[in-house]
């Protein structure tokens, strides 16, 4: 767009604003308005077709082209750790609670395949982001069966998906839920200070463990609304023991979902305000300067905020305080972000192993490195053995894109070691969390 064209567009805007001001002041008479409208029409006519083309091009460039996103969710039983020495026989999607976070852009088509890997129990899938036929797509699937259907995500937001098989309260309380996050066609600004997905939910445990040493869900307690634990991301105080790092005075973004199934979330960050809150995660529903965010069961939100005190700690809780002792608390560690810079070790005096950490918070920090350092360079015969350590509270994997190596599931504190013998560039990631990606560059000995 030329300077002249830009000036013409600006003049149109100024005159339009003046017209509105005239009406608001109540001082515009018919001849004044006619004169202003005439000037606007004249400027519009004089602006070249190139100006309009340029404006359309800018608008189109800001849009993300819709795409088809293929996802597979598998209903399967799994053992999870809710708290220290407390394991639970969960019903899950893809072996985790919450299930995998699904990311899409407004206008995308979701091609969903649902597989029931239970041996004796029917399950179903319900996407709150979809507008489909319940009787056709959301019905229970028998053990060993599967279905595939698709829908378009028309609205941006933080939406819940869950098993809807009756009694739905039991299937959700036992762990069958997750978040699908749909980005708006008008994207939000970047959040360099940190970006996390937090899912609040409740667990209702039997009074004692079963023969396998694990707890199971208590249906009577579910109906009574008497939870044993209320937690973020299925971990009682998990982010107190290992706080989530954020940067001071940088925009931090939280994607929050309340999976319930019963209780509201009164989300609150101690020592900070929620600068901008997008109710249900839709940028059209903005509220400002909230002290506490109320989220109903199955509701969501996006919270943009800043932390002012470098090096401080800011707890986050539900302000329904009866649930804080039950595990619904975490901490943001201000100034605790991990470097993502590349590390190169070529000296013959270097250690035989190169160490890579899976940092705390990697499960939910979609903007974080996932692996630290994210890129390493090793030399065959010098330091070509790499060890990964899971320092997060959630399980992860180290899985090569080309399948040359795979750690399998790594729980907290687990390590995986692999020795590279062929020069090349190796990409890898976490099978559970697609935003976690790393690279190993292998060089021949000098």
In a domain, residue 389? The reply is yes
Task: Give residue 174's region: left, alpha or beta (phi > 0; psi -120 to 50).
Answer: alpha
Are both 74 and 175 inside the same structural domain?
Answer: yes
User: What is the per-residue pLDDT for 43?
Assistant: 34
Check whether residue 127 and residue 149 sit in a common domain.
Answer: yes
Are 79 and 153 in a shared domain?
Answer: yes
What is the Cα–Cα distance from 92 to 74, expressed in whole angstroms?
8
Q: How far is the C-alpha of 307 from the C-alpha of 263, rounded, in Å?
A: 28
Domain count, the chain: 4
Ranges of residues in the chain with a pLDDT under 50 are: 3-63, 336-352
Residues 286 and 355 grouped into a single domain: no
- For residues 26 and 128, state if they share a domain: no
221 in a structural domain: no
Q: Give the structural domain span for 144.
A: 68-183
**Do 317 and 237 sit in the same domain of this protein?**
yes
The residue with tokens 């399998």 is 408
pLDDT at position 332? 94
211 within domain boundaries: no
DSSP 236: T
Residue labelled with tokens 């849009």: 63
Domain boundary among 43, 61, 79: 61
Q: Which helix (H) or strand (E) holds 53?
A: helix 49-61
Nearest to 445 by CA among 425, 418, 419, 423: 423
Indicate if 307 and 383 belong to the same structural domain: no
Same domain, 323 and 352: no
Instruction: Indicate the helix (H) or strand (E) that contains 103.
Output: strand 102-105
Asked if 360 and 319 sit in the same domain, the reply is: no
Residue where a domain terminates, one of 61, 78, 102:
61
Cβ-contact 194, 338 below 8 angstroms: no
Residue 196 belongs to some domain of the structure: no
One domain for residues 242 and 294: yes
Are residues 86 and 155 both part of a single domain? yes
- Domain holding 106: CATH number? 2.60.40.420
Contact 114, 136 (CB under 8 A): no
Is 216 a domain residue?
no
155, 145 contact by CB (below 8 A): no
CA 332 to chain centre: 16
Q: Domain ends where: 305, 334, 363?
A: 334
Is residue 223, in this structure, part of any structural domain at all?
no
Do 195 and 209 form a contact (C-beta atoms < 8 A)? no
Of 178, 182, 177, give the one whose Cα is nearest residue 153: 182
41 in the same domain as 73: no
Between the CA of residue 145 and those of 99, 119, 121, 410, what are the distances in Å?
Answer: 19, 10, 11, 29
Looking at the domain assignment, is residue 296 inside a domain? yes
202 within some domain: no
């Amino acid at each position: 767009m030329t300077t002249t064209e830009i000036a013409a567009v600006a003049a149109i805007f100024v005159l339009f604003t003046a017209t509105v001001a005239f009406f608001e002041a109540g001082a515009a008479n018919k001849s004044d308005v006619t004169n202003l409208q005439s000037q606007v029409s004249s400027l519009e006519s004089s602006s070249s077709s190139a100006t309009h083309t340029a404006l359309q091009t800018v608008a189109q460039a800001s849009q993300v082209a819709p795409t088809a996103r293929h996802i597979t969710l598998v209903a399967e039983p799994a053992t999870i750790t809710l708290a220290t020495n407390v394991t639970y026989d969960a019903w899950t999607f893809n072996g985790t609670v919450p299930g995998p976070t699904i990311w899409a852009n407004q206008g995308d088509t979701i091609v969903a395949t649902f597989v029931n890997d239970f041996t004796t129990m029917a399950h179903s899938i319900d996407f709150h982001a979809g507008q489909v036929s319940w009787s056709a797509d959301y019905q229970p699937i028998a053990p060993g069966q599967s279905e595939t259907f698709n829908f378009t995500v028309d609205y941006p937001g933080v939406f819940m998906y869950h098993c809807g098989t009756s009694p739905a309260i039991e299937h959700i309380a036992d762990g069958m839920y997750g978040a699908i996050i749909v980005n708006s066609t008008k994207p939000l600004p970047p959040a360099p200070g940190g970006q996390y997905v937090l899912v609040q939910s409740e667990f209702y445990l039997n009074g004692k463990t079963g023969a396998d040493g694990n707890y199971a869900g208590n249906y009577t307690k579910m109906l009574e609304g008497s939870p044993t634990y209320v937690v973020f991301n299925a971990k009682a105080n998990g982010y107190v023991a290992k706080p989530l790092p954020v940067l001071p005075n940088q925009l931090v973004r939280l994607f929050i979902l309340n999976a319930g199934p019963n209780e509201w979330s009164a989300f609150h960050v101690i020592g900070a305000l929620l600068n901008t809150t997008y109710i249900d995660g839709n940028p059209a529903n903005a509220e400002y300067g909230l002290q506490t965010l109320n989220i109903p069961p199955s509701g969501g939100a996006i919270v943009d905020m800043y932390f002012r005190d470098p090096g401080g700690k800011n707890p986050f809780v539900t302000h329904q305080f009866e649930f804080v002792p039950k595990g619904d608390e975490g901490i943001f560690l201000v100034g605790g972000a991990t470097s993502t810079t590349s590390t190169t070790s070529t000296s013959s005096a270097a250690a035989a192993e190169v160490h890579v950490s899976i940092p705390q918070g990697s499960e939910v920090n979609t903007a974080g490195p996932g692996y630290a350092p994210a890129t390493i360079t090793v030399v065959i015969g010098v330091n070509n053995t790499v060890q990964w350590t899971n320092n997060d509270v959630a399980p992860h994997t180290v899985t090569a894109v080309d399948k040359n190596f795979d750690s399998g599931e790594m729980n907290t504190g687990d390590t995986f070691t692999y020795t590279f013998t062929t020069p090349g560039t190796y990409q890898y990631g976490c099978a559970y969390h697609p935003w976690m990606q790393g690279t190993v560059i292998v060089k021949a000995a000098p």
